[in-house]
Structure 1
């Protein structure tokens, strides 16, 4: 991803993340959180992909599954 794409995606991700985590933040803070998160995440995933290749995809899949399990336990299983 290019830096511009990471910034655009990051702004949207920051908005979504603050809503999901129920954090009250102003718009500039929300955008900065998302942009920094997208930049850090993009760099980490790029490094993992270069270093480990296919294994990075597997690690990403496991992390994604862990997040979904956490979300399930926090929001659905409590009902």
Structure 2
């Protein structure tokens, strides 16, 4: 069950992050960005999650996905 929840939250976070960062990706990349962002954000914001509840985890997932997109744009392959 936690894996399914991670995919659902990751897909939503990736979708929001790619729209905020104006990045056009396919579905698999969007979900991947969201899942990795959720993992990054979850690690960084674990204390915040304990204090404020599940919404902080979602905010952390979106922020983590945005950081991942920024890193990709800065250090990823050039077109």
Counterpart residue number, 1:7? 7
Counterpart residue number, 2:31? 31
TM-score, with length taken from structure 2: 0.51
Whichever of the two has the greater Rg, that structure is: 1
1:1-79 map, 5 Å: 2-46=2-46, 48=47
In the alignment, structure 2 segments of 5+ residues that lack a partner are 57-62, 64-79
Cα RMSD after superposing both structures: 2.9
TM-score, with length taken from structure 1: 0.51
Moved over 2 A (4+): 2-7
In the alignment, structure 1 segments of 5+ residues that lack a partner are 61-66, 68-79
Change (3 A) 1:21 1:37: same
Q: Is the 8 A contact 1:14 1:33 kept in 2?
A: yes
Structure with more relative contact order (C-alpha pairs < 8 Å, separation 6 or more): 2
